[in-house]
Amino acid sequence: MSEAIIIALIGIVPSVLVAIVSIISNNAIVKVKIEELEKHVNKHNQIVERTYTLERDLATYWSKYDEIKARVDRLENK
């Protein structure tokens, strides 16, 4: 092999190794950030579910209130 090819290989090998290490470390960082985002999404979804439950229960309570009010009105008007 000529000296130019050997020198080129000596220069390329460390660059390739640095690129591989960089990609691996970036993947680890991205994985951690995705896990954090998943936690935030889960918290948000729990809040949405709780809000839906509260709204449903509130509608039920208002319906019961209206029924009781109608009964009281009927009893008062007798």
Evaluated on CA atoms 45, 46, 47, 48, the torsion sign reads positive
pLDDT value of residue 5:
87
Tens-place pLDDT, residues 26-65: 999 999 999 999 999 999 999 999 999 999 999 999 999 9
pLDDT value of residue 9:
84
Say if residue 1's pLDDT is above 80: no
Question: Three-state secondary structure along the chain?
Answer: CCHHHHHHHHHHHHHHHHHHHHHHHHHHHHHHHHHHHHHHHHHHHHHHHHHHHHHHHHHHHHHHHHHHHHHHHHHHHC
Q: pTM, whole model, 2 decimals?
A: 0.58
Q: How confident is the model at residue 6 (pLDDT cuts 50, 70, 90)?
A: confident
Say if residue 77's pLDDT is above 90: no
With vertex at residue 45, the alpha carbon angle to CA 44 and CA 46, rounded to the nearest 5 degrees, is 90
